[in-house]
Chains A and B, each alone.
Chain A
Amino acid sequence: MDLYAAIRGRRSVRRFSSTPIDQAILERIVGAATWAPSGGNAQTWRFVIVTEPTRIAKLKTVSPGLLGDPGAVVAVCQDLADARAKGSTLGEVLLAPCDAAMAAQNLLLAAYAEGLGTCPVASFTHRAVARLLKLPETVEPVLLVSVGVPDETPEAPARKTEGIVHWEVYGG
């Protein structure tokens, strides 16, 4: 698949069919996430792949942004102790969420290339998700990504262009 076609074709999907997702596909798309860049090559991200319907249902209960009935949810997490050890304050505060976001984008595009729909979600209760996924104390969930066979093709929202891109200097 052409990369630009994937970038422009990907949508945030919030309605899924009940078709289960092959474990091999989930392994591939999470593998793609680990090929994202990370500050200082820290690779302090952690991924929890959830496929059990009852566990997904529990996650949904504490995650208002997690909509529809996805076949899987990938929790993109960061080990903040590891991030601090490798990158000091910058690593913990800035690089960790940036790295998680870059990994998540890889995951979204890889899933799209596999014919799957996804939606990255930040609207969830961190302490509840951490408990339900049995995350160690230093591991913080950054994003939940719902993954499933899409049952909708949302329209692409218009892209803002005015004042977004500047050449050489801001305002240039």
Chain B
Amino acid sequence: MDSTALEAKVFDLIGYIASSARNLLDETPAYGPFRLVDAASRLVAILKEAGVQSPRLTALRQEIDRGKYSVTVGPDEFKAFLDALVDTFVDYLDPDESPRM
């Protein structure tokens, strides 16, 4: 991906984030965290297209995309997904630290 294409992708991502910010003033509060993790997934996708990738970024994106729509299932399911996502992140951040029980 050349710099022009990368700029266009980032431009789109900014549009997604900015329009989300505006809409979230009126939307269900749970859509806030949903848009945050979805934006993270989109960022990882852009980085991959730009040639920047790693196993942990790929794994985090897969976990986000697998679980993000739990926001439509119920608050408990969405919270469990986000807790697990944070645990996964900490696993990569500090592999020696076990998840809290």
Which residues of A come within 8 Å of B, CB atoms?
14, 57, 60-64, 123-125, 128, 154, 157
Extra contacts, 8 of them, besides A64-B16, A125-B23, A128-B19 (Cβ < 8 A), are A14-B69, A57-B12, A61-B15, A62-B15, A64-B20, A64-B38, A123-B23, A125-B22
A64-B12 contact given A124-B19, A157-B72, CB 8 Å threshold: no
Rounded to whole Å, the gap between the CB of B1 and the closest CB of chain A is: 16
Considering the complex, which residues of chain B in the window 15-43 have a beta carbon less than 8 Å from any beta carbon of chain A? 15-16, 19-20, 22-23, 27, 31, 35, 38
Which B residues are closer than 8 A to A by beta carbons?
11-12, 15-16, 19-20, 22-23, 27, 31, 35, 38, 69, 72-73
Please determine whether B27 and A123 come into contact, CB atoms closer than 8 angstroms.
yes
Q: List 13 A-B contacts (CB under 8 A).
A: A14-B69, A60-B12, A61-B11, A61-B12, A61-B16, A62-B15, A64-B19, A64-B38, A123-B27, A123-B31, A124-B19, A128-B19, A154-B69
Main secondary structure of the interface of A (DSSP, over half): loop
Q: What residue of chain B has the Cβ atom nearest to residue A64's Cβ?
A: B20
B78 nearest CB across to chain A (Å): 13
Q: Closest chain A residue to B22 by CB distance?
A: A125
Q: How far is the CA of A119 from the CA of B46 in the complex (A)?
A: 24
Q: In whole Å, how far is B35's beta carbon from the nearest beta carbon of chain A?
A: 6
Could you tell me the distance between the alpha carbons of A128 and B11 in the complex, rounded to whole angstroms? 15
Whether A124 and B12, one on each chain, are in contact in the complex, defined by CB atoms closer than 8 angstroms, is no
A63–chain B nearest beta-carbon distance, Å: 7
The verdict on A61 contacting B19 (CB below 8 Å), with A123-B27, A123-B31 known, is yes
Taking a contact as CB atoms under 8 Å apart, the answer to whether A63 and B12 are in contact is no
Contacts A64-B35, A157-B72, A157-B73 given: A124-B16 contact, CB under 8 Å?
A: no
- How far does the alpha carbon of A128 sit from the alpha carbon of B16 in the complex, in Å? 12
User: Once bound together, how far apart are the Cα atoms of A62 and B72, in whole Å?
Assistant: 21
Residues of B within 8 A of A124 (CB): 19, 23
Task: Report the Cα distance A105→B29, complex, angstroms.
Answer: 26
A122 CB → nearest B CB, Å: 8
Tell me which residues across on chain A come within 8 A of B72, comparing CB atoms: 157
Q: From residue B24, how far is it (CB to closest CB) to chain A in Å?
A: 9
Whether B19 and A125, one on each chain, are in contact in the complex, defined by CB atoms closer than 8 angstroms, is yes
Distance A157 CA – B12 CA, assembled complex (angstroms)? 31
